[in-house]
Structure formats: C-alpha cells, structure tokens
Amino acid sequence: MEKYESETTLFLRQFLREHPEVVDKQKKARATWWDRPYDAEQREAFEEAKVPKKPYEYYSSNR
C-alpha cells in the first residue's frame, strides 16, 4: 500500500525541486531571527525591565 501525500505536499516538493534558492533563503531567514547565541546578561536586563501587570479591572456597564 502506498503512502498518501496530499496535493499540498506534492506541490511543495515539486516547487522546492524547481526553486532550490528558496531553501537557502529560508535558512538565511532562520539564522537572522532564531539561530542566535544566548546572551544571559541581555536576558537578565529584559527581565528586570518588565513592568508588572495590573490586575484585571472590571467595569460596570451601568454608569
């Protein structure tokens, strides 16, 4: 029995075979936004700069 592949999967496989430059662009974009070294000092500064949330305020509709 053959494994089922949706039309979307088939389209994407064919598209990427015909446009291999897209994979390179994806890898470059991932490196730009996600694959970054962890900076503990910067993360600590972000955590210290957070403003505490106020509790939810309920308003009466009968004003």
pTM of model > 0.95: no
| Residue bearing tokens 């999967």 | 9
> What pLDDT is stored for residue 62 in this prediction?
66
Q: Could you tell me if 9 and 15 are in contact, meaning their C-beta atoms sit under 8 angstroms apart?
A: no
Residue 8 has pLDDT above 80, yes or no: yes
* pLDDT tens figures, 18-39: 999 999 999 888 888 777 888 8
CA distance 60 to 27: 51
Count CB-CB contacts under 10 A for residue 12.
Answer: 13
Residue 63 has pLDDT above 60, yes or no: no
Residue 9 has pLDDT above 90, yes or no: yes
